[in-house]
Amino acid sequence: MSDMLFQRIAIIGVGLLGGSIGLAVKSRGIASKVIGIGRNPERLELAMRMGAVDAVTTNLEEGCRDADLIILALPVKSIIDFLEPVARAASPGALVTDVGSTKASIVDHMQRYFDKQTVFIGSHPMAGSEKSGVEHSHADLYCDAVCYITVISSTPVEAVRRLTEFWQALGSRTMIVRPERHDQLVAALSHLPHFTAVALTKTVHESADDVNLLKSLVGNGFLGTSRIAEGHPGMWSDIAFDNQKNLCIYLDRIIDNLEEIKQLITNNDVESLTRLLNSVRQFRQEFNP
Amino acid sequence: MSDMLFQRIAIIGVGLLGGSIGLAVKSRGIASKVIGIGRNPERLELAMRMGAVDAVTTNLEEGCRDADLIILALPVKSIIDFLEPVARAASPGALVTDVGSTKASIVDHMQRYFDKQTVFIGSHPMAGSEKSGVEHSHADLYCDAVCYITVISSTPVEAVRRLTEFWQALGSRTMIVRPERHDQLVAALSHLPHFTAVALTKTVHESADDVNLLKSLVGNGFLGTSRIAEGHPGMWSDIAFDNQKNLCIYLDRIIDNLEEIKQLITNNDVESLTRLLNSVRQFRQEFNP
């Protein structure tokens, strides 16, 4: 028996995230065979040509057969839709995971279909970009990225160990949390920034009587702060509805903070505004290398 | 007579912006002599050692004497405070400009002190970063940056021509606008993004029961969107109060947009949210190279 971490990995959805897992697995020798499963033969063909997978199929049962690791590399809503068919297609003993940006509802749903024979553990590698598609995938996408691994009381510890080892082999720093805690943390660190960038971009868009003028004038202030608003609309719509409760709490809070800033400016309260800016600056500087 | 654009340039305030003007002027041979004027002898000494200026002084009259271009490289509020003494210290025929991030109030104030003999024209090069201090200055800071040059009906066109030539010699793209129009444009493209980043950072800060945890988890979403919140508190407080009216209009608009997004999420209105995300993405993509 080989000392590889897994023998056969099936990746459902070979886009930026799935393709990059394939490339990393191949280049790091993490598994002997990687199967790409998808709907679009052309995209699968491209994944093959890029060396992200060893074989491809549009047939879920066929692709999952004998895989000891199955990864759902799909948007959140599709992950939930695929839980039941994947649980049926998976061989006994297979470990199933995903890369979805929210975790509580996925883990909640999976409990109906998975058991101790075929284990599902939700993963969330904090990787990706405003780009999408297998053509943008690369073997280092997960290097130095944080990967959340979510556990509930029934999660078998041995499966957690193997999955942790898998993500670490891809270069990620793993973090074990409960699904609900995960969804709170990413609401603040990822989903709120995203929808803030969207609101900012919408506001600037609405101010634009002349887009060409704006384009000639724009600087790093707007560009850096709005970049993530280019993210995939369907993916981010999925995330927003799935993590509705946490995201709306933070949206309320940022609205309150914007109101507070507006009040300080309107009241000519130089001292309080400067104090606020100082405190924010100090906090933000803690994130610098 | 040399064919240099100016003979003697006095820079009041030798920080990131002033120091970078000095370095660019020297390296591009735009003037034969650059004088640095400031309060802090150590900072002036550093500017000398860096080659940003040929001579330094803490005496305004002395520094401005015989200069044919005087540049106020100070925060907005200090620029306003210095208008009167600079108008008195400037030699007849001198051209005076500034680098302030707002323009209407500066131009409004300058009209009390300047005339057709000693001309003031407000400039705003859109350069700089969250860094400050002469130690971060470099000769290419103004390359490819937009520089606004603001005119009113009494501005002499020959002075506009010379100032335009100056900023272009530093590598900037110049844009001639009225001061009020400038303040509207930067409110949307620069000041709103800044205070949005501040509100976002404050919101994440308030959510942080454990800063070290956040630091280990943070990804590009928050980091990119919040980077400018590190900007200098005093400078940004100045800007906010100076451009109060325009900024508050945009703060109201982004609050409305955040409320709208929250409503769509709360109402499970997938179609409208996806449409909004699509339209924002399309607009944002126009800014890509």
Per-residue pLDDT of B96-137, as tens digits, reads 999 999 999 999 999 999 988 899 999 999 987 767 899 999
Mean pLDDT along residues B260-266: 98
Chain A interface test: which of B142, B189, B238 (most A C-beta within 10 Å) = B189
User: Residue A91 has what DSSP assignment?
Assistant: P
**Residue B18 and residue B71: Cα distance in Å, rounded?**
8
Residue B152 lies in a domain: yes
Residue A255 lies in a domain: yes
The alpha-carbon gap from B111 to the nearest alpha carbon of chain A, in Å, equals: 24
Residues B188 and B173 in one domain: no
Q: Write the CATH number for B149.
A: 3.40.50.720
CB contact under 8 A, B207 and A253: yes
> Which residue in A has a C-alpha nearest to residue B234's C-alpha?
A274
Mean pLDDT along residues B241-250: 97
Residue A130 lies in a domain: yes
- pLDDT value at residue A3: 74
Q: Model ipTM?
A: 0.87
Q: Dihedral of CA A35/A41/A44/A49: which sign?
A: positive
Residues B148 and B212 in one domain: no
| Residue pointed to by tokens 């500066």 | B106
CB contact under 8 A, B248 and A268: no
Q: Write the CATH number for B272.
A: 1.10.3660.10
* Exposure string for B92-130, b = 16+ CB within 10 A, e = fewer: eebbbbbbbbbbbbbbebbeebbeeebbbbbbbbbbbeb
Residues A196 and A270 in one domain: yes
Residues B17 and B150 in one domain: yes
The alpha-carbon gap from B109 to the nearest alpha carbon of chain A, in Å, equals: 19
Tell me the whole-structure pTM to 2 decimals.
Answer: 0.86
pLDDT tens, N- to C-terminus, chain A (289 residues): 457 899 999 999 999 999 999 999 999 999 999 999 999 999 999 999 999 999 999 999 999 999 999 999 999 999 999 999 999 999 999 999 999 999 999 999 999 999 888 999 999 999 877 678 999 999 999 999 999 999 999 999 999 999 999 999 999 999 999 999 999 999 999 999 999 999 999 999 999 878 888 888 888 889 999 999 999 999 899 999 999 999 999 999 999 999 999 999 999 999 999 999 999 999 999 998 8
- The minimal CB distance from B258 to the residues A233, A254, A276 is found for A254
User: Residue A229 has what DSSP assignment?
Assistant: G
Residues B164 and B195 in one domain: no
User: Under DSSP, is residue A267 helix (H, G, I), strand (E, B) or coil?
Assistant: coil
CB contact under 8 A, A218 and B287: yes
> Which residue in A has a C-alpha nearest to residue B273's C-alpha?
A237
- The minimal CB distance from B248 to the residues A226, A251, A266 is found for A266
Residues B189 and B130 in one domain: no
Residues A172 and A190 in one domain: no
Residue A16 lies in a domain: yes
Dig out the tokens for A266 from the structure: 């309107």
Residue B110 lies in a domain: yes
CB contact under 8 A, A185 and B284: no
**Residue A32 and residue B61: Cα distance in Å, rounded?**
78
**Residue A27 and residue A21: Cα distance in Å, rounded?**
10
Res. B209 pLDDT band, cuts 50 70 90: confident
The alpha-carbon gap from A61 to the nearest alpha carbon of chain B, in Å, equals: 31
**Residue B189 and residue B174: Cα distance in Å, rounded?**
17
CB contact under 8 A, B281 and A185: no
With a pLDDT cut of 90, the percent of chain B lying above it is: 89
- The minimal CB distance from B283 to the residues A188, A205, A274 is found for A205
- The minimal CB distance from B196 to the residues A196, A286, A287 is found for A196
Of the candidates A177, A196, A218, which is a domain's last residue? A177
- pLDDT value at residue B266: 98
What's the domain count of chain B?
A: 2
Q: Is A93 left (phi over 0), alpha (psi -120 to 50) or beta?
A: left
- pLDDT value at residue B1: 45
Of the candidates B150, B177, B204, which is a domain's last residue? B177
CA dihedral A235, A82, A29, A48 (to 10 degrees): -70
CB contacts < 8 A (A, B): 270
- The minimal CB distance from B199 to the residues A236, A247, A254 is found for A254
The residues, ordered by sequence, that sit 6+ positions from A198 with a Cβ below 8 Å of its Cβ are A229, A236, B261, B276, B277, B280
CA neighbor of A239 nearest in space, from B271, B197, B256, B265: B265
- The minimal CB distance from B199 to the residues A127, A213, A257 is found for A257
How many C-beta atoms surround the C-beta of residue A279 within 10 A?
A: 15
**Residue B40 and residue B55: Cα distance in Å, rounded?**
14
Residues B24 and B129 in one domain: yes
Q: Which residues of B touch A251 (CB under 8 A)?
A: 258, 261-262, 265
Q: Phi, psi (5° rounding) for residue B119?
A: -95, 135
Residues B216 and B97 in one domain: no
Contact A43, A21 (CB under 8 A): no
The residues, ordered by sequence, that sit 6+ positions from A158 with a Cβ below 8 Å of its Cβ are none
> Which residue in B has a C-alpha nearest to residue A277's C-alpha?
B233
Tell the burial category of B132 from Cβ atoms under 10 Å away from its Cβ (0-12, 13-18, 19+).
Answer: middle
Contact A178, B206 (CB under 8 A): no
Of the candidates B142, B177, B212, which is a domain's last residue? B177
* Exposure string for A177-216, b = 16+ CB within 10 A, e = fewer: bebeebbbbbbbbbbbbbbbbbbbbbbbbebbeeeeebee
Residue A1 lies in a domain: no
- pLDDT value at residue A2: 55
> Which residue in A has a C-alpha nearest to residue B127's C-alpha?
A219
CB contact under 8 A, A265 and B248: yes
**Residue A202 and residue B257: Cα distance in Å, rounded?**
7
- pLDDT value at residue A1: 45
Mean pLDDT along residues B250-274: 98
Residue B1 lies in a domain: no
- pLDDT value at residue B2: 55
- The minimal CB distance from B189 to the residues A218, A241, A254 is found for A218
Q: Which residues of A touch B274 (CB under 8 A)?
A: 233-234, 237
Mean pLDDT along residues B136-144: 95
CA atoms within 13 A on the CB side of B216: 10
**Residue A231 and residue B95: Cα distance in Å, rounded?**
47
Tens digits of residue pLDDT in B37-71: 999 999 999 999 999 999 999 999 999 999 999 99
Which residues span the domain enclosing B29? 6-177
Residues B35 and B172 in one domain: yes
Stretch (H or E) spanning B120 = strand B119-125
| Residue pointed to by tokens 């890509």 | B288
Tell the burial category of A55 from Cβ atoms under 10 Å away from its Cβ (0-12, 13-18, 19+).
Answer: middle
CB contact under 8 A, B203 and A192: yes
Residue A237 lies in a domain: yes
Residues A167 and A223 in one domain: no
Q: Which residues of B touch A241 (CB under 8 A)?
A: 265, 268, 270, 273
Dig out the tokens for A207 from the structure: 């101010």
**Residue B82 and residue B46: Cα distance in Å, rounded?**
23
Residues A197 and A146 in one domain: no
Chain B interface test: which of A148, A149, A227, A283 (most B C-beta within 10 Å) = A283
The alpha-carbon gap from B143 to the nearest alpha carbon of chain A, in Å, equals: 12
CB contact under 8 A, A200 and B217: no
**Residues paired with residue A33 on neighbouring β-strands, in sequence order:** A8
Mean pLDDT, chain B, integer? 95
User: Under DSSP, is residue A11 helix (H, G, I), strand (E, B) or coil?
Assistant: strand
